[in-house]
Chains A and B, each alone.
Chain A
Amino acid sequence: GAVVSQHPSRVICKSGTSVKIECRSLDFQATTMFWYRQFPKQSLMLMATSNEGSKATYEQGVEKDKFLINHASLTLSTLTVTSAHPEDSSFYICSARLTSGGRGEQFFGPGTRLTVL
């Protein structure tokens, strides 16, 4: 199956700093990528839909100025958590769909665990 990678796998940062998370589709092109957040013992919550070459679409309640998304190529989307605070500590997961073909499924990355001190 198609492979999605994320970097870094885990990051610890101080409150007030910004953290960038990369999501790459390794062996396929993805016009659309998705960013999710998952708090402990909870389900995944969709944060935004990332579209190559255009602005991301954010879900209700997600601050677009705090969670900056850039999808500059068909294989890379980045999520930047700006001025991170302890309440932003979470498991961030991206996913991607094939631009063409496939069965319509989403391929998920392994996740990035963010801890803000």
Chain B
Amino acid sequence: DAKTTQPNSMESNEEEPVHLPCNHSTISGTDYIHWYRQLPSQGPEYVIHGLTSNVNNRMASLAIAEDRKSSTLILHRATLRDAAVYYCILAYTGTASKLTFGTGTRLQVTL
């Protein structure tokens, strides 16, 4: 499985935008870039995913580099409820596709 590299932790002020980076230099052509987040003592939650083009949804935006070797999850206005561990995962989107979780980035949001 292609691996991803994320910073261990990041801090942000509330109401500010947050850019969470992810490096995946060994990504294959069929790998989608998925982002999930896990709040304390809860199961992970889907955030967004994409293949080549940038993606937007109500939760976040995903900016994918042209060579696909890196991507950035963008939270436009961080709130205290966005404090979580964010995981960047490469996987195809088939029904039986497995997700391999790395260590993720722990995002702290302060007032």
Contact = CB atoms under 8 A, between A and B. Distances in A.
Interface of A: 1, 4, 6, 31-32, 34, 36, 43-46, 49, 51, 91, 93, 95, 97-99, 103-111, 113
A109 B45 CA distance: 9
B43 A43 contact: no
A76 to B, nearest CB: 17
Interface stretch (B16-24, B70-78, B91-99): B91-99
Interface residues of B, number: 24
Nearest to A98: B95
Contacts of B94: 104
Interface of B: 32, 34, 36, 38, 41-46, 49, 87, 93-104
5 contacts: A1-B46, A44-B38, A46-B100, A93-B44, A104-B97
Contacts of A49: 96, 98
A78 to B, nearest CB: 17
A108 B87 CA distance: 14
Nearest to A57: B96
B43 A46 contact: no
